[in-house]
Structure 1
C-alpha cells in the first residue's frame, strides 16, 4: 500500500487498540475468555477486599440503571450487604458479568472489574500483551519527530496500561503520553474526541486518529480530527463505499511523517 502522509498540522496521534495496535484475536481469544474462565475464582479470592467491594458496587449501580431502562438481563441485587450466602452473592455478580460480556457491552463497571482480573493475570505472567510488529518502531519514529502519542480504547485505562506494560516486547508505557477510555465518552460520539483534544491541549485539527472501526472514524472526523482506517488480518471487512471514503493503511509504516511522502 502506498505511503500516506500525515496532515501537516499533526501534533498528536490517537490510537485505538483492538485491530489497530493489537490483534483482535488477542482480545477475543485470550483476554475475554480469561475473564469468563476466572471471574468466579477471582471474586471468591478477593470478595472481602475494598477494591473488589467497590467493583461490585459499581456493577450494582449499573444493574439498577439497566432495570430502570428496562434492559433485559439477570435481575439481581448485586449487593454484598444483602446476602449472608456469599456463594450466591458471588454467583449473581458472575451472572451479570457474563450477561454483559455476551451482549458485548462497554460499561465502565464491567471494564473496571475486567481490568482488575487481568492485572492479577499479567502480574504473574499468565497473560502478555500483544502488539503488531510495525507498531513500536513507528511510534518511536513519531516521538523522535516531536509528535505526542495517545491511546483511546473502550477498555479501561488500567487495562490499556497492563497490555502495554506487560507486553511481549516488554514495558512499552514510555511510548505513550496519555490514555483515554469510555470515561471521556463513547468512541462513536464526536464530543468524545473534542474532549480529548481539550484534555491534550490542542485543536482537533492537530490530531490524527487511527482505528479499524469506521463508525469511530466518522465520529472523529465530525469532531475535526484527521483519520486513517487500519486494515489488518481478522478486522471487519470494509464495504467498497468505506474503502473509497476513508484513507486506509495496512501498517503503521504506511504512515509518513508530515511532508515526507
Structure 2
C-alpha cells in the first residue's frame, strides 16, 4: 500500500543532491579553460584586489592584459583565472563576481551544446512521482537562478523545467541561516512543516529543521563524509526513490 506523503512541497539542493559534485568542478573548469568572458574576468580581477585589501590569505590575483609586440599574456591570465576559481570553490565562496562568472560560463556552454547538466538517474523518476501526486517542487541552490534553470533545461535527462515550480538562490538568504527557510516558506505560502528539504549539507539540514521543515540528508558518492552524529541525528537517503517508502512524521 503506497504511503501518503506528509509534505506538500519538496525543496531540493543541487550539488551533491540532484547533481554530482564533480559536474561543477570538472565540467566547469574544462569549459573555462577554452572560453573567457572579458566582462566577467574583470569582475574577478576587481574582487581579487578587494580580497587583498581585506587581508584574505592565499588570494589569486588575475593579471591585467599586457601586450608585447603582437603577443599578450593570455595564457598567464587564463591560468590565474582557473586558479582563482579553484581557490574560491575550495573555500566555498558565494560572492557575486564568482557566481556571475559561473552563470555566464554555464549559459554559454549550454547554448552551444558543449555542456549538459548532469542529473542522478533516480531524480527524474522522483520528479515524475511528485508531480503526479500534486507535490510542488522547488530548487534552492547557491548558484544563480539563471544557472539553475540552464542546468535543468539542458540536462542529460532532457528538459526537466516542466517539473519545477520555482527556484531560489542566496538572494533570499544564506543556505545555513534559518531565516532563509522561513523566507522560502512565506514565498511559496506554505507552513514550514509542509515542506520537505533534501540536501547533502548537514548545516543546511539543521537550519531547515530548526524552523520545523521536514528534512533529510542525501548521501551520494564523493559527497562529504557524514559523522556518526550526523547519522544518528538525521534521516539519510542514498536514492530519491527511497523517500517514497518512508513515512515522515
Task: Tell whether the 8 Å contact from 2:29 to 2:82 is kept in structure 1 after alignment.
Answer: no
Please state if 1:182 is matched with 2:150.
Answer: no
SS of the equivalent of 2:167 reads: strand
Please state if 1:17 is matched with 2:44.
Answer: no
**1:124-203 matched pairs, under 5 angstroms:** 124-203=112-191
Please state if 1:32 is matched with 2:7.
Answer: no
How far, CA to CA, are the matches of 2:30 and 2:17 in structure 1?
Answer: 20
Corresponding residue to 1:109 among 97, 105, 124: 97
For this pair of structures, how many residues does the alignment match?
241
Task: Tell whether the 8 Å contact from 1:56 to 1:93 is kept in structure 2 after alignment.
Answer: no
CA gap 1:203/1:62 in 2 versus in 1, 3 angstroms: farther
Please report how far the alpha carbon of residue 33 of structure 1 lies from its aligned counterpart in structure 2 after TM superposition.
3.7
Unaligned runs of 5+ in 1: 48-52
Please report how far the alpha carbon of residue 201 of structure 1 lies from its aligned counterpart in structure 2 after TM superposition.
1.7
Please report how far the alpha carbon of residue 186 of structure 1 lies from its aligned counterpart in structure 2 after TM superposition.
1.7
Task: Tell whether the 8 Å contact from 1:5 to 1:255 is kept in structure 2 after alignment.
Answer: no
CA gap 1:184/1:260 in 2 versus in 1, 3 angstroms: closer
Task: Tell whether the 8 Å contact from 1:5 to 1:260 is kept in structure 2 after alignment.
Answer: no
SS of the equivalent of 2:148 reads: helix
Task: Tell whether the 8 Å contact from 1:111 to 1:155 is kept in structure 2 after alignment.
Answer: yes
CA gap 1:69/1:21 in 2 versus in 1, 3 angstroms: same
Please report how far the alpha carbon of residue 173 of structure 1 lies from its aligned counterpart in structure 2 after TM superposition.
0.8
Q: Which has the higher contact order (CA 8 A, sep 6+)?
A: 1
Q: What residue in structure 1 maps to residue 203 of structure 2?
A: 215
**1:47-66 matched pairs, under 5 angstroms:** 47=38, 53=39, 55=40, 59=44, 62-63=47-48, 66=51
Please report how far the alpha carbon of residue 68 of structure 1 lies from its aligned counterpart in structure 2 after TM superposition.
5.2
How far, CA to CA, are the matches of 1:208 and 1:69 in structure 2?
Answer: 39
SS of the equivalent of 2:196 reads: strand
Unaligned runs of 5+ in 2: none
Please report how far the alpha carbon of residue 124 of structure 1 lies from its aligned counterpart in structure 2 after TM superposition.
1.6
CA gap 1:34/1:260 in 2 versus in 1, 3 angstroms: same
SS of the equivalent of 1:134 reads: helix
SS of the equivalent of 2:217 reads: strand
Please report how far the alpha carbon of residue 228 of structure 1 lies from its aligned counterpart in structure 2 after TM superposition.
0.7
Q: What residue in structure 1 maps to residue 56 of structure 2?
A: 71
How far, CA to CA, are the matches of 2:21 and 2:136 in structure 1?
Answer: 25
CA gap 1:93/1:182 in 2 versus in 1, 3 angstroms: farther
Please report how far the alpha carbon of residue 144 of structure 1 lies from its aligned counterpart in structure 2 after TM superposition.
1.5
How far, CA to CA, are the matches of 2:230 and 2:236 in structure 1?
Answer: 9
Task: Tell whether the 8 Å contact from 2:63 to 2:80 is kept in structure 1 after alignment.
Answer: no
Cα offsets for 1:217-249 (capped at 9, x unmatched): 111112221111111222222111111110011
RMSD of aligned alpha carbons: 3.1
